[in-house]
Structure 1
Amino acid sequence: MERFEISRAADVDAAIRAGALSQTAQQGARVRFLAGGTTLIDLMKLDVEQPEQVIDIGRLPLDQVTQRDDGGVDIGAMVRNADLAHHDHILAQYAVLSEALLSGASAQLRNMATTGGNLLQRTRCVYFRDPAMACNKREPGSGCGAIDGFNRNLAILGTSDTCIASNPSDMNVALAALEATVHVQGTRGKRAIAFEDFFLLPGNTPERETVLEPGDLITHVSLPAPVSGARSTYLKLRDRASYEFALASTAVVIALDGGKIAHVRLALGGVGAKPWRAVQAEAMLQGQTPDGGLFQRAAEAALADARPQSENGFKVELAKRCIVQALKDATQAA
């Protein structure tokens, strides 16, 4: 770990001013915010992140879950994953989010990890996390060792010739299906960013993972009011039952009316370069009578653009089966 200075932000404005000292929009900025520290500290120990200044935002008043008058909810960036997963309103109205959070990491990490930190969680690609290896995400232009190397756990959707890293977060998959909005405050003031627009595909600039700019601070995430009669679920497939990242996962939010699908949102994890909304599958499901054949066709549509690598071709079929089972679980519950 390199030497760095650490200071505590007195308020949101002070944090933004300090964060804006960074002169690069690249993720490895020289000024970084410290929330729970469950990812940042690890990456600093590995010399993947080498900030000169670390701004502790742990005491900022961003740790509340607030129900809005319109029926939606605002989740502060500093809300701990454990608190959010066990919050009565989240359990009752946004079960998919609670299930996703509880399927991730360990109880100890969930006690520390925050909503904002989880949102920005970085890939577990072994080439990204080893400075001795070629990684365009960590060092633009150095190459991608994963393409011809160990890629079993990496993405098959949204990849490019420069990067095939997968987004590791379970929470992000649920937020995609719930059509969340990310609220940011920075030097340009306050901005509300649709979840679908928040993450960037790698393209030719894999080092740029989100639309955040230097100094931007996530203040909260908002969820719309629950769809009337909707049920939701999160299904995660992984190598072992606990403390493991998804090989494939599916978040489903679905509502039936008169025996037909009146509303459906479907998001995938473990297979995408970003949290992946399966919009083609949603379109195929909308207005139809749910059954196994329909679910299989929707799963085929969701993976139609998959680009598997040498070791992760199995993810195509695994993700399809995950989608079918999650849809069955959600509709049977309904």
Structure 2
Amino acid sequence: MKPFAYVRATSLREAAAAHARHPGARYLAGGTNLVDLMKLGVEEPRALIDLSRLPLHEVRELPDGTLSIGATARNSDVAAHPAVRARYPALAQALLAGASGQLRNIATTGGNLLQRTRCPYFQDVSTPCNKREPGTGCAARDGIHRDHAVLGHSAHCIATHPSDMAVALAVFDAAVELYGDQGTRTVPVTEFHRLPGDRPEQDTVLRGGEIVTAVLLPAAAPGAVSLYRKARDRASYAFALASVAAVLQLEDGRVRRVALAFGGLAHRPWRATTAEALLTGAEPTEAALREAVDAELAHALPLRDNAFKVGLAANLARDALATLTRRAAGHAP
């Protein structure tokens, strides 16, 4: 047994103050990832600051049409919310593709964003891992890395980010609302997670003691359609080998707006800006979709055992964009 302090916060200010008083503290909401890491010995917090009683669980529509999803809103509740299902269907699909029903009933929006990689070497304290213990090396590079990154990785870390939800948020241009000792700020979700570089232990751009308070989804564009697709080793309760989220809006038979993001390929959700630039203003023919997706994935640097991910992701993306093209043109449900 490793003892730790426990604080049940009643306000954001109290939570931030408690975190400052306890070096090595961690915030606790659903605990579906943090508690597992504590059992494995990966996380050894000096204190747990419980945020679950804070009033951060609502999904609210703001006057400008923005949808605010509270940080402690449960994944299952967000997936079932009428506004999410109607305006941001890819988000509902991504949430339902993650974990199991039991876990979705406990896991929170903020915790989903902050969950740590499922790399087995990160979770095994007997092996070297720069993310867990900087400077010790990356055992995955020469080990078993079939599930690891093909985009944006470095010599220091080849882990992937496990969230399905974050991939969908990336294509909706969502922002993450944060509270800290310097006040409130918002960060685009596409800038919230970091690539590993030489500091893989830093998953996000969070400053010390900051709390995720909400995710903000801009008003959905009229006529835009979206979806989320995921390839995995089994039909449920498995992380993505590759996934894709996409949003498409057509005007006069050409792409007015497109957003595409990949999951399971990188240290963070990978926004496919090269593909988006090629498709914007173009007629979404089969050839155009293929050219755009292939241009994006030309950046890939697969490892010994995971080159299959590039073709898998390409097929997912092309099929998703073709499906959305038919839907946007009114030819498919």
Task: List structure 1 segments (4+ residues) > 2 angstroms apart after TM superposition.
Answer: 20-23
Q: Over aligned residue pairs, what C-alpha RMSD do you find? A: 0.9
Name the structure 2 match of 1:12. Answer: 12
**2:223 is the counterpart of 1:224:** no
Shift of residue 92, structure 1, vs aligned partner? 0.3
**2:301 is the counterpart of 1:301:** no
Equivalences for residues 136-285 of structure 1 within 5 A: 136-285=130-279
Shift of residue 22, structure 1, vs aligned partner? 5.6
Unaligned runs of 5+ in 2: 329-333
Shift of residue 21, structure 1, vs aligned partner? 3.7
Helix, strand or coil: the match of 2:177?
strand
Name the structure 2 match of 1:327. Answer: 321
TM-score (norm 2): 0.97
Q: Within 2, Cα distance between the matches of 1:316 and 1:236?
A: 14
Helix, strand or coil: the match of 2:228?
strand
Cα-to-partner distance string for 1:19-60 (whole Å, 9 max, x where unaligned): 23465xxxxxx1001100100000000000000100111110
Cα-to-partner distance string for 1:232-265 (whole Å, 9 max, x where unaligned): 0001011111001001110001101111110000
* Contact 1:20–1:187 (Cα < 8 Å) also in 2: no
**Taking structure 1 as reference, are residues 141 and 88 closer, same or farther at Cα in structure 2, changes over 3 Å only?**
same
Helix, strand or coil: the match of 2:90?
helix
Q: Which amino acid aligns with 2:285?
A: D
Q: Which amino acid aligns with 1:300?
A: D
Q: Which amino acid aligns with 1:195?
A: V
Q: Which amino acid aligns with 1:16?
A: A
Q: Which amino acid aligns with 1:226?
A: A
Shift of residue 332, structure 1, vs aligned partner? 1.5
Helix, strand or coil: the match of 1:74?
strand
Name the structure 2 match of 1:27. Answer: none
Helix, strand or coil: the match of 2:140?
coil
Q: Which amino acid aligns with 2:4?
A: F
Report the count of equivalent residues.
328
Q: Within 1, Cα distance between the matches of 2:235 and 2:215?
A: 29
Helix, strand or coil: the match of 1:296?
helix
Q: Within 2, Cα distance between the matches of 1:21 and 1:178?
A: 37
Helix, strand or coil: the match of 2:201?
coil
* Contact 2:9–2:54 (Cα < 8 Å) also in 1: yes
Q: Within 1, Cα distance between the matches of 2:264 and 2:155?
A: 19
Q: Within 2, Cα distance between the matches of 1:20 and 1:262?
A: 47
Helix, strand or coil: the match of 1:127?
helix
**2:159 is the counterpart of 1:130:** no
Name the structure 2 match of 1:2. Answer: 2
Cα-to-partner distance string for 1:41-100 (whole Å, 9 max, x where unaligned): 000000000001001111100000000111111000000000000000000000010000
Q: Which amino acid aligns with 1:120?
A: L
Q: Within 2, Cα distance between the matches of 1:22 and 1:205?
A: 24
TM-score (norm 1): 0.97
Q: Within 2, Cα distance between the matches of 1:50 and 1:14?
A: 22
Unaligned runs of 5+ in 1: 24-29
Helix, strand or coil: the match of 1:267?
strand
